[in-house]
Amino acid sequence: MSLFSFLGAIELGLIYGLVGLAVYLSFRVLNFPDLTVDGSFPLGASVCAAAILGGLDPITATLLAILAGAVAGWITAILAVRFGILHLLASILVMIALFSINIRIMGRPNAALLGQTTLFSPFEGLSFLPFDQARILVELVAVALVTFLLARYLNSDQGLALRATGANPRMARAQGIDTERQTLSGMALSNGIVALAGALFAQANGFADVTMGLGTIVVGLAAVIVGETLFRLKGILGALIACLLGSLLYRLVIAFALDVNMLGIEASDLNLVTAVLVGFALLAPKLRARMRKAAR
C-alpha cells in the first residue's frame, strides 16, 4: 500500500469515525435505527460549502452545518415519537427530503470549494508538515475533542438519562426521565455529529455533492460493529474509541483490498463489499449461538 492511499484511508477513517460515533449514539444508545444520516452527511457538506462560498468564515460555516444536521435529526425524532411513525420510515422520509433540500442549499447538485478558505487553510504550505498530514492532524484533534465531549456527556446525569431512555424506557419514565425529550435531543446530537463529518469531508476534499451521502449509514454501522466485535473496550469512552478504531480499520482494509489488484475489486464494488461485511457481522452473534447449540 502506498503512503498516499494509507494516508487517504486514515483521513476517511477519522471523518467516518465521527459517523460511527453518531450511529453508536442512535443505533446502540437510543436503540433508534436512523437512516437520516444518509441525508445529514451531505447536508453538513452542503451547508458548509454554501456558507463558505457565501463568504462566511469556515468556523461559522461548520457550526451552521452542525446546527442543520441537528435540526434534521430532531425532525426525524419528532416524526417518530410525537406522530408515531415507525422510526426507520421516519428517518427515510427525512433522508429523501434532504436530497432536494441539499440541492436547494447549494443551488445545484454539487459545489466546489477549491481556492476557498477552509478550516484546513491555515495548515497549507507549512514547511515542516505536508498538507495531507497536517489535515489528518486537524481531523484527529476534532475527532478526539468530539469523542471526549460525547463520553463526558454520556457519563453525566443527563447522559445517563439518555442511555436509560434507549435501554429501558419504562424504567426511565419511572425515574422521572422525559423519554420523548431525550430521544429528540439524542437524535439531534447524533445528526449534528454526522453533519460535522460532512462539513469536514467537504472542506478536506474541496467539494460537496448531493450524492455523497449514499451508504453513510452502512459505513457508520460497519465502524460500530467492527469496533465492538474486535475491540471489546470497557465503559462508554471505550465503546466510542472502539467505534473510531473500527472505522479506521474498515478503511484500511478497503484501501488494502483496492490496492491488491488480484482480488479484482473495483471502487464501485465497495458498497456491495460493505453490505456483505456488515450483514455478516450482524449475523455473527446469532450464528455463534446456533453453533453453540448444535455443539451441545
Residue choice 121, 158, 211, 229 for contact with another protein (CB under 8 A): 158
Interface segment toward another protein; rule CB under 8 A; list 128-136, 167-175, 254-262, 270-278: 167-175
Alpha carbon of residue 237 to chain centroid: 17
Determine if 163 is a binding residue for another protein (CB under 8 A): yes
**Considering the complex, what minimum distance in angstroms separates the CB of residue 39 from another protein?**
29
Which residue, 193 or 239, is less far from another protein as judged by CB?
239
**Considering the complex, what minimum distance in angstroms separates the CB of residue 124 from another protein?**
37
Question: Which residue's entry shows cell 460515533?
Answer: 21
Determine if 229 is a binding residue for another protein (CB under 8 A): no
Q: Grid coordinates in use for 7?
A: 494516508
d(CA 40, CA 22): 11
Determine if 77 is a binding residue for another protein (CB under 8 A): no
Determine if 156 is a binding residue for another protein (CB under 8 A): yes
Residue choice 22, 63, 101, 164 for contact with another protein (CB under 8 A): 164
Q: Grid coordinates in use for 259?
A: 490496492
Residue choice 85, 110, 173, 237 for contact with another protein (CB under 8 A): 173
Which residue, 108 or 170, is less far from another protein as judged by CB?
170
C-beta of residue 152 within 8 angstroms of C-beta of residue 213: no
Residues in contact with another protein, counted by CB under 8 A, come to a total of 23
Determine if 179 is a binding residue for another protein (CB under 8 A): yes
Write b or e for each residue in 162-173: b if 16 or more Cβ atoms lie within 10 A of its Cβ, otherwise e. Answer: bbbbbeebeebe
d(CA 24, CA 18): 10
Determine if 84 is a binding residue for another protein (CB under 8 A): no
Handedness of CA 140, 144, 145, 147 (dihedral sign): positive
Handedness of CA 144, 146, 149, 150 (dihedral sign): negative
Interface residue list for another protein (CB under 8 A): 152-153, 155-161, 163-164, 167-168, 170-179
